[in-house]
Amino acid sequence: MPYLYRDSKPRLPTLPGTARATHSSGKTYKELKQECLRRGVLFEDPDFPACNSSLFFSEKPPIPFIWKRPGDIVKDPKFIVGGATRTDICQGDLGDCWLLAAIASLTLNEKTLGRVVPMDQNFGPDYAGIFHFQFWQHNEWLDVVIDDRLPTFKGRLVFLHSAEHNEFWSALLEKAYAKLNGSYEALKGGSTIEAMEDFTGGVGEMYEVKKAPDNFYEILEKALKRCSMVGCSIDTSSAAESEAKTPFGLIKGHAYSVTGIDEVSYRGRQVQLIRIRNPWGQVEWNGPWSDNSLEWHSVSPSEQRRLSQAALDDGEFWMKFEDFKVHFDKVEICNLTPDALEDSIAHKWEVTIHQGSWVRGSTAGGCRNYLETFWTNPQIKLHLTEKDDGQDDCTFIAALMQKDRRKLRKLGAEMLTIGYAIYESPGRDGHLGKDFFRYHTSKARSKTYINLREVSNRFKLPPGDYVLVPTTFEPHQEADFCLRIFSEKKAITEDLDENVAIDLPEPLNPTPSPQETEEEKQFRALFEQISGKDMEISAEELQYVLNSVFKKTKNIKFKSLSLISCRNIISLMDTSGNGKLEFNEFKVFWEKLKKWINIFLLFDFDKSGSMSSYELRSALKAAGYQLNNYLLQLIVLRYSDEQFQIEFDDFLNCLIRLENASRVFQALSVKNNEFINLNIGE
C-alpha cells in the first residue's frame, strides 16, 4: 500500500485529558462498559481477539496458551494492590524488558502514571471485563480499550506479571500496549526511550557520558526543572557482567533514575552534585558524598536540610558530578512536552509538530549522498527568532520519528535508517532545488543515521532562517514520519511544500498566419495526405502523423505515442467538438508540443527517452504547474514505472490532463477564486 502525503502543517500537541477513542465500534470505554453491564455480559474485544494472531505473527506459540480472565486465575483479583510500584513488574517469556524498564520509571511519577493507567478501574461491583489505558502516538493521546483475557500456561500468566499474584494492572497495561502495536510479538526488542515517549508524549535524548557536551550539567539541570524523566546506566562488556556489582556499590547493566542535581558549598567552594536512585533499594554508591560519608561533615546543617540529605529514599544517594561522569556511561532524557500534567509551566518546552511521508518516486530522496534525489525530500523551514536567556544562540531539539514500523512488522516492515540535515537559508522561500544543496553545506545534522524509531539531537544555532530536511538513508524507501521541534523559546516552523499555482499562457486562436513557414508547409503536405480534402484528422490519423515526425527527428528517442494520448490531444484542442483536429488546431498544438518536448529533453539527463520521476516537480514547474507534494505523489503513482521513470507518452498525458483540468477550473471559477461550485451536470 503506498504511503501518500498527508497534511504536514505544524500542529500543536493535543490538550491533556483529550485522548481519542480508538475502538473499531467508535464507542468510548465508558459506552462499551455500560453496554456490557446493561446486557449482563463480559466484554470481548473483537479488535484484539483471544487467539494466536494477537500473540505472534511469524510463528505459532511453542506451547498451547489458554486465555483466562483474572477471576479465572485467582479468587480475589485486584487492579492495584498497595499502589503501583516497581515490584509490580516481573518479566515473562517475552523479550520486552525495554518496556518493563519504562513501566518501572513510570511508577516513580504518580501524575504521569495516572494518565497512562486510569485509576478508576477495578474488579468491583461494576466489573465488566473491560479496561483501558492511554498512550501517546504521533501528536495525539489514544485511549486503548481491551478485555481482560490474558494468555496463561498451567494457570500462570505467560508474559508480564506482578509479584503480587492477585494484582493485574501491569499485565493489562502490557496487553494494551501489545494491541496498540499489533501483537505481543511486536514488542520484542526495543529502546526504553521509545516506551517512555509513548507514556509521556515527550522526546528522548541519549548521551554517552564520556562524550557529553561541556554544558552537560546545565542540560541535566534544565531537564529536571522541566520534570523530565532521566535515567542512567553503566555499560556491560559481556552478558556475564549484567547486574554485576562494582567495588563502589554500583550495578552494571542496570537502569538508575536521576532524581536531582544541585550545588553545595564545601570548604569554601561550590561542588556540583547529582542525586541517583536505584529502584532496587539498599544497593548504593559508597564513594564520596554517599550516605554518611565524611564530606557531609563539612557541610552546614542548613545545606544538608536543603538537599534533604537525611530524608533520602532507600537506594537514593548523592555523588559528585565528576565521579558520575567517570562511573556511568549512558544517560537517557525523556523531555516532557507542554501538555504534561505537572502544575508549573514555567520551564516547559515550546513544541511544533509536522506530519509527512517519504513516497517512492517523488519524496523519498535519501540522504545527501544521493544529490540527484536528496532535494526532493520534504523540507521544513525553521525560523529561530529569540535567543535563550543570557545566551547568544537558540537551543532546540529536532526529533524525527518513523511511524507505525513496529505495528507493520507483520507485513515485513523493519525500522528504516533515518536522520536529517539542517541548512541555513536566509531570505529563501519555497521548496529548495538541487543546485542549492549542490553548493551549500549543512549547518548542522543528526549525529548519525540509525535504524531506531526516533532520531533526536540538541542544537544551538544563531537566530535566523534554516531548512531541515528529514530523510531515510537510502532513496526509494517509504514511510510516514513525525517531526517534532522542541525549542527553549518560541520558534516558527512551516512546511516548504509548494502552494498549488498555475501559470499558463492564454490559448491561441487557431487562425491562419499570412505566411506559412517551411515547417508548416511540410506539415500541411503530410496533413493533406492523411486527412483528405476535409483537412481534419481523427485520433488514429493523428497518431500516425506524430509518430512519423518523431521518427525523422534525430534528437528525439521517444517511444511511439499511444492512441490514448492522441485522443486526449484531440479532447484538449478540438474547439468544434466533432472529435477531430483541423489543420489550424493542429498548428496550435504543435507549438505547445514543441515546448513540452524541449522541457522533457531538458530533464532527460541521460537522453534515454525517459525522465526520473524525481525530476517531475521541476519539469512541471517549467511547464507552468507548481504542485504540492500530495499532487506530485498522486501523479507519480499514476504515470511512473517501477524504476521511477516517466516516458514521454506519460509525460504528455499528464500535461494534457493538467491543462484540461486547469482550463475547466478557470472557466468555472468566479473572480479567480481558489474554489468553485459544481452542479451535477458540470
300 DSSP 8-state letter = -
Cα–Cα distance, 224 to 336 (Å, whole number): 10
Cα–Cα distance, 206 to 457 (Å, whole number): 8
Query: Residue holding cell 505523489?
Result: 633
C-alpha 374: how far from chain center: 18
Residues contacting residue 248 through CB under 8 Å, at least 6 positions apart: 285, 286, 287, 327
Q: What are phi and psi of 644, to 5 degrees?
A: 60, 35
199 — pLDDT class (breaks 50, 70, 90)? very high
Express as a percent the part of the chain with pLDDT over 90.
Answer: 36
pLDDT in tens, 327-386: 999 998 887 765 554 444 445 678 889 999 999 988 999 999 999 999 999 999 999 988
Question: In DSSP terms, which residues pair with 132 in a beta bridge?
Answer: 145
3-state per-residue secondary structure call for 52-75: HHHHCCCCCCCCCCEEECHHHHCC
Cα–Cα distance, 546 to 497 (Å, whole number): 37
| Residue 28 predicted with pLDDT over 80 | yes
Is 512 within 8 Å of 543 (Cβ atoms)? no
Is 380 within 8 Å of 354 (Cβ atoms)? yes
Provide the 3-class DSSP secondary structure of residue 361: coil
| Residue 303 predicted with pLDDT over 60 | yes
Cα–Cα distance, 41 to 28 (Å, whole number): 17
What cell does 265 get?
558549598
What cell does 651 get?
509525460
Provide the 3-class DSSP secondary structure of residue 578: coil
Positive or negative: CA dihedral 630, 634, 635, 641: positive
| Residue 318 predicted with pLDDT over 60 | yes
6 — pLDDT class (breaks 50, 70, 90)? very low
Cα–Cα distance, 414 to 451 (Å, whole number): 9
CATH superfamily membership of 203-335? Cysteine proteinases (3.90.70.10)
How confident is the model over 503-519, as a mean pLDDT?
59
What cell does 162 get?
506482578
What cell does 443 get?
549547518
- Nearest CA among 135, 166, 141, 178 for reference residue 72: 166
pLDDT in tens, 395-420: 899 999 999 999 888 888 899 999 99
| Residue 251 predicted with pLDDT over 60 | yes
Query: Residue holding cell 478540438?
Result: 574
- Nearest CA among 580, 577, 506 for reference residue 537: 580
Express as a percent the part of the chain with pLDDT over 70.
Answer: 87
pLDDT at 364: 93
- Nearest CA among 289, 466, 316, 309 for reference residue 379: 466
How confident is the model over 544-549, as a mean pLDDT?
80
547 — pLDDT class (breaks 50, 70, 90)? confident
Helices (H), 129-285: 169-181, 192-200, 216-225
Cα–Cα distance, 258 to 261 (Å, whole number): 8
Among 234-248, 298-312, 499-513, 651-665, the range scoring the smallest mean pLDDT is: 499-513
pLDDT greater at residue 308 or residue 48: 48
How confident is the model over 435-440, as a mean pLDDT?
94
186 DSSP 8-state letter = G
pLDDT in tens, 29-72: 999 999 999 999 999 999 999 999 999 888 888 788 999 999 99
* Half-sphere exposure at residue 654, Cβ-oriented, CA atoms within 13 angstroms: 28
672 — pLDDT class (breaks 50, 70, 90)? low
Strands (E), 122-255: 130-137, 140-147, 150-153, 156-157, 203-208, 229-233
pLDDT greater at residue 541 or residue 403: 403
Cα–Cα distance, 147 to 594 (Å, whole number): 66
- Nearest CA among 508, 507, 503, 506 for reference residue 622: 503
CATH number (2.60.40.10, 2.60.120.380, 1.10.10.60, 2.10.109.10) of 350-497 reads 2.60.120.380
Residues contacting residue 15 through CB under 8 Å, at least 6 positions apart: 339
Name the strands in the sheet holding 330-335, side by side, starting at the edge strand that comes first in the sequence. 203-208, 330-335, 229-233, 256-266, 269-277, 316-320
Count helices and strands (H / E) in the chain.
Answer: 19, 27
Q: What are the domain boundaries of the chain?
A: 20-200, 203-335, 350-497, 518-668
Is 495 within 8 Å of 378 (Cβ atoms)? yes
Is 373 within 8 Å of 48 (Cβ atoms)? no
| Residue 469 predicted with pLDDT over 90 | yes
Cα–Cα distance, 588 to 383 (Å, whole number): 47
Cα–Cα distance, 581 to 546 (Å, whole number): 13
CATH number (3.40.140.10, 3.40.50.720, 1.10.238.10, 2.60.40.10) of 518-668 reads 1.10.238.10
* pTM assigned to the model: 0.76
- Nearest CA among 331, 343, 346 for reference residue 112: 343
pLDDT at 202: 87
Cα–Cα distance, 682 to 666 (Å, whole number): 13
pLDDT at 5: 31
Is 635 within 8 Å of 621 (Cβ atoms)? no
679 — pLDDT class (breaks 50, 70, 90)? low
Among 133-137, 230-234, 238-242, 384-388, the range scoring the smallest mean pLDDT is: 238-242
Cα–Cα distance, 232 to 250 (Å, whole number): 11
215 — pLDDT class (breaks 50, 70, 90)? very high
Between helices 539-552 and 563-573, what is the axis angle to 10°?
110
| Residue 1 predicted with pLDDT over 70 | no
pLDDT at 346: 47
Cα–Cα distance, 69 to 79 (Å, whole number): 12
pLDDT greater at residue 188 or residue 576: 188
Residues contacting residue 9 through CB under 8 Å, at least 6 positions apart: 354, 494, 495
515 — pLDDT class (breaks 50, 70, 90)? low
DSSP string, 610-679: EEEGGGHHHHHHHTTEE--HHHHHHHHHHH--TTSEEEHHHHHHHHHHHHHHHHHHHHH-STT-S-----
pLDDT at 341: 44
Query: Residue holding cell 553503566?
Result: 234
pLDDT at 2: 33
| Residue 626 predicted with pLDDT over 90 | no
pLDDT at 484: 92
Cα–Cα distance, 291 to 277 (Å, whole number): 12
Strands (E), 378-495: 380-384, 394-402, 418-424, 444-445, 454-461, 464-472, 479-487, 491-495
* Residues noted as catalytic: 97, 254, 278
pLDDT at 347: 55
Is 212 within 8 Å of 408 (Cβ atoms)? no
Q: Calculate the average pLDDT of the chain.
A: 84
Is 273 within 8 Å of 320 (Cβ atoms)? yes
Helices (H), 52-183: 52-55, 70-73, 97-106, 110-116, 169-181
C-alpha 394: how far from chain center: 24
From the CB of residue 543, how many other CB atoms can be counted at a distance below 10 Å? 20
519 — pLDDT class (breaks 50, 70, 90)? low
